[in-house]
Amino acid sequence: MDELRKYLEILYNRLLFPVEVIDSEGRIIYVNEAFTLMWGFSQDELIEYSVFNDLVLREQSKISLISEVLNNLSQKTIEHFEDSLLRSHHNVVPLIRTSVFGFEMNGERYAVLIHEDVTEQVLTGEEIKRARDASKEAERLKNNFLNVLSHELRTPLNIILGYSSLIKENLSDKISTEDKIYLDNLHSGSERLFNTINQMLEFAHIEAGNYSVAIETADLVGIIQGSLAQYEEAARSKGLEIRTNFVHKKVFVDTDVQCTMNAFNNLLSNAVKFTNQGFIEVEVDVMEDKNLALCRVRDSGIGISTKYLDHLFQPFSQEDLNIGRSYEGNGLGLALAKRYLEKVGGSLLVDSIKGVGSTFTFTLPLTLSSKIKYDDKEEAEILASNKILMLDNVGETFELIRAFLKKDYQIVNYSLRDFRIELTRDNSFSHIVFDVEKNFWQQAILICKDIKKNDPYKRPIIVISSEFIEEKIREFYNAGANKFLIKPFGKSELVKVLDEAKEYSL
């Protein structure tokens, strides 16, 4: 026995972990210094003690594990080891992980118990888990807040913007000049509020890492041509000329269409805003040697100082207070444009001279494939008709769209509950339009899939909603929707989407 103790002392006495060795009857034949420090007992004080008689170990069913190790000369790990000795020495018992293994010497069997204090590890792990759970909960609350905020702001803004534009259009010749100014201020103020809210929500979404993209092959020239129309009136009112230079009729790129459109709209909007006289030129070309498409937006505007160029793409950044007061905006447009393009593997560069003008150039990767259009004659005839099948539970959006399109389209509305797939057999409809509320999101997705699968004429599907989170929008694109229109929207945006949807469905 003395020889065994010497052997155990050589092995374990300087070990930092508490170690005890027991014989086949559970009596402790050796403890190291670390054990004495943590348990508070030396070996001489434990002569009468037996592990197998320890009530705490028995309550916790640990004795059977130790016996199994002794009988089979095996190895076990015991989580949360605690015995009556440890409990008597500590007011708060530390969390102990114990490794137990058996060995045989001179015909006798023994078990070595190596203890490790894992209190700090466990508490740290629990703290990390709580922090992770709190982070997830904060993320969930933030997303819920953004969703609710988006819905509660966009829906009433849609009504305000829609009907104010209708009043402007229908009563322009019937009201006084003063009233016309009031109406213009109402409409422009609502648009500015919407643009600010929209940009802030999207920026928050991108910064949170929740903005996902769906890369597809798309015609860059087509995307840009589709966006130009909405800025022509603003440019014309300032006496500006918008020039285009498309080196190729179609330039196919691998991108997310919405990201690219948002980035270009921000660049063109800035060009119109900061140019008081002269021109704006939009050029699309390719760099075949680098497999890139490029788009330049050049203007003869106020330009940007060299000192400010390094801060240009920072959020909420404006060159100086005078610019901030003279020109509307929140300083997010260029920051968003850069982030949109980087999301799809693109880049954004600027070249500017103060007082002369600016040129913004963005690049996108060219695709090796081309977009194939399906031009069945019968479908083309259907798309030429002017009748819309609309699904709107509340009816507010239906009334607004009917007012927008009363001269050009006939609109037939059904609630989601009343919709039947048989309605798609009517070939007089040119478009199918959904107004989707959050409460009916999944039901609308199922209907969208059903229409996409069973519509014999493959008509364009347009979804209208106050939802702005990209993953949610992507659900409808995956279900077969051709376009997604976010509230609020005006007549020109609606007409543009209707026209674009026809092209997507061909």
Name all domains of the chain by residue range, CATH numbers in brackets. Answer: 2-117 (3.30.450.20), 214-372 (3.30.565.10), 377-505 (3.40.50.2300)
DSSP assignment of 379-401, as one string?
A: HHHHHTS-EEEEEESSSHHHHHH
Average pLDDT, the chain: 85
Q: Which residue has the tokens 């919407």?
A: 194
Q: Which residue has the higher pLDDT, 284 or 171?
A: 284
Q: How many C-beta neighbours within 10 Å does residue 333 have?
A: 20
Indicate the burial class of 84 (C-beta count within 10 angstroms; 0-12, 13-18, 19 or more): middle
**pLDDT tens across 394-445, in order?**
888 888 998 889 888 889 898 888 888 888 877 788 899 999 988 888 999 9
Looking at residue 32, its amino acid is N
Per-residue confidence (pLDDT) for residue 328, from 0 to 100: 63
Q: What is the pLDDT of residue 375?
A: 30
**What DSSP character marks residue 10?**
H
Report whether pLDDT(324) > 70. Answer: no
Q: Determine the Cα–Cα distance for residues 223 and 250; give it in Å rounded to an integer.
A: 10
Phi-psi sector, 419: left (phi>0), alpha (psi -120 to 50), beta: beta
Which whole number is the average pLDDT over 191-209?
76
Q: Using the 8-state DSSP alphabet, how is residue 118 labeled?
A: -
Decide if 424 contacts 456 (C-beta within 8 A): yes
Q: Specify the pLDDT at position 382.
A: 46
- Cis peptide upstream of residue 365 (ω within 30 degrees of 0): no
Q: In 3-state terms, what secondary structure has residue 97?
A: strand
How confident is the model at residue 371, as a pLDDT?
A: 40
The confidence score (pLDDT) of residue 138 equals 80
Query: Per mean pLDDT, which range of 60-64, 165-169, 285-289, 361-365 is the poorest?
Result: 165-169
Determine the residue type at 34. A
Answer for the pair 13, 32: CB distance below 8 angstroms, yes or no.
yes
Contact yes or no for 82/59 (Cβ under 8 A):
no
Query: What is the model's pTM?
Result: 0.50
Q: Which residue, among 285, 231, 266, has the nearest Cα to 339 in the 3D structure? A: 266
Helix (H, G, I), strand (E, B) or coil at 123: helix
Average confidence (pLDDT) over 291-304:
92
- pLDDT for the residue 362: 95
| Tens digits of residue pLDDT in 141-159 | 776 776 676 677 777 877 8
The CA distance from 193 to 187, in Å, is 10
Instruction: Taking residues 231-246, report their average pLDDT.
Output: 89
Distance CA 361, CA 111 (A): 74
On the question of a cis peptide bond just before residue 488, with omega within 30 degrees of 0, the verdict is yes
